[in-house]
Amino acid sequence: MITQPASIDLTGDPKRRSRERTIRSIFLVAGLMSVAISALIIVSLAGEAWRFVSQVDVGSLWTLGWFPRRGFYDIPTLLIATLVIAGTGMLVAVPLGLGAASYLSEYATPRNRRWMKPALEILAGIPSVVLGFWALTFISPQVVQRFFSSAKPFTMLAAGLGVGVLVTPLVATVSEDAMRAVPRSLREASYGLGANKASTVRTVVFPAAISGIAASLILAVSRAIGETMIVFMAAGAVGGALRTFNPLEPGQTMTAAIASLATGTDQVAGEGLAFQSLFFVGLLLFVLTLALNVLSNRIVRRFREKYE
């Protein structure tokens, strides 16, 4: 015979509840930490950058080139070199990456896909210092100088091609994931209406996957702008650079300028405003990539063909 207790105790185990509270606060700290670090970076960048802006001679921001040791802080030199190299890289990565993504997602037999996708992912994992060295020892003499015999060993073109090789797998793998995520029913609808593969990819799969594809391109552009090692090694102009649009000339990107100042390859650390200019360029880089992200988010939201 079972007797009913007068009242039921539902308070549970207090130890378990306190354990859950502890776990929750550990995760909260981890979450807050990343926010705090970002804020810290911005604050330290902004402080030194402000010191640069407030003390620099405005005239020295618009000169023939970027020679911080001599007090020439021509920002356009760095911006142009950054855009030329990132642009060259994207000229390589967009057709190659999207082509590879289309092949893997729509054309490849499962057998080919099984080995090609991991191969691409391995390429994505090659350290950029290796690619930089390769750009210097292979792309520059074997590609750039073969087509342009007058080209110097260090050129923005060689660095740009190296950056293109670096970001191609990024474009390919992220775009491929987005394209494969497009439901099969949409492809069937297209084939059922007598569309061939090429027009199905172009008019159905691409538009439906556009947000993922755009995301891959943004990631690639951000990566290309932020890439340091390849440009540092292959674009030359470590000490400074003249302002030029010509990809067959050496050039210095924002990242390479920061790297050379910070590592002291041109022995300026702590001297004059050269050291502070590093923070200013860093802040500029940060603003540029942030703006790029915001802009692309808008574009994606505008053109997305949302399924489901």
Partner 1 sequence: MADRIGTTVDSVDHTRPETLEDASPSLAATRSPRVTGGTPSDEHAVILELSDVNAYYGDFHAVDSVSLPIREKEVTAFIGPSGCGKSTVIRSINRMNDLIPTARIEGAITYHGVDLYAPGVDPVEVRRRIGMVFQKPNPFPKSIYDNVAFGPKISKYSGDMDELVERSLTRAALWDEVKDKLSDSAYALSGGQQQRLCIARAIATSPDVLLMDEPASALDPIATLRIEELMYELKQEYTIVIVTHNMQQAARVSDRTAFFSVDVKEGQRTGRLVEFADTATIFTNPQHDETEDYITGRFG
Residues that bind partner 1 (CB under 8 A): 109-110, 183, 185-196, 199, 203-204, 207-208, 305-308
Q: Compare residues 179 and 225 and give the one whose CB is closer to partner 1.
A: 179
Sheet with 72-73, strands from edge to edge, namely 72-73, 65-67, 241-242
Q: How far is the CB of 197 from partner 1 (least distance, A)?
A: 9
Q: Compare residues 110 and 270 and give the one whose CB is closer to partner 1.
A: 110
CB-based contacts of 179, cutoff 8 Å, min separation 6: 101, 102, 105, 106, 205, 206, 209, 212, 213
Q: Compare residues 5 and 192 and give the one whose CB is closer to partner 1.
A: 192
Q: How far is the CB of 98 from partner 1 (least distance, A)?
A: 20
Q: Compare residues 15 and 306 and give the one whose CB is closer to partner 1.
A: 306
DSSP 106: I
**AA identity, residue 93:** A
- The distance of Cα 201 from the centroid of its chain, to the nearest Å, equals 26
Q: How far is the CB of 305 from partner 1 (least distance, A)?
A: 4
Q: How far is the CB of 175 from partner 1 (least distance, A)?
A: 18
Which residues in 188-219 are b (16+ Cβ under 10 Å) and which e? eebeeeebeeeebbeebbbebbbbbbbbbbbb
Note whether 246 and 259 are within 8 A (CB).
no
Q: Compare residues 194 and 270 and give the one whose CB is closer to partner 1.
A: 194
Burial, 302: exposed, middle or buried (Cβ in 10 Å; 0-12, 13-18, 19+)? exposed
CB-based contacts of 150, cutoff 8 Å, min separation 6: 248
Q: How far is the CB of 213 from partner 1 (least distance, A)?
A: 14
Q: Please tell me the chain's helix, strand, coil percentages from 3-state DSSP, rounded to the nearest 5.
A: 75, 0, 25
Q: How far is the CB of 218 from partner 1 (least distance, A)?
A: 21
Note whether 61 and 73 are within 8 A (CB).
yes
Note whether 247 and 160 are within 8 A (CB).
yes
Give the phi and the psi of residue 247 in degrees, each rounded to 5: -70, -10
Q: How far is the CB of 266 from partner 1 (least distance, A)?
A: 54
Q: Compare residues 51 and 113 and give the one whose CB is closer to partner 1.
A: 113
Q: Can you tell me the distance from the alpha carbon of 283 to that of 293, in angstroms, rounded to the nearest whole number?
A: 15
Q: Compare residues 186 and 292 and give the one whose CB is closer to partner 1.
A: 186
Q: Compare residues 192 and 270 and give the one whose CB is closer to partner 1.
A: 192
Q: How far is the CB of 150 from partner 1 (least distance, A)?
A: 48
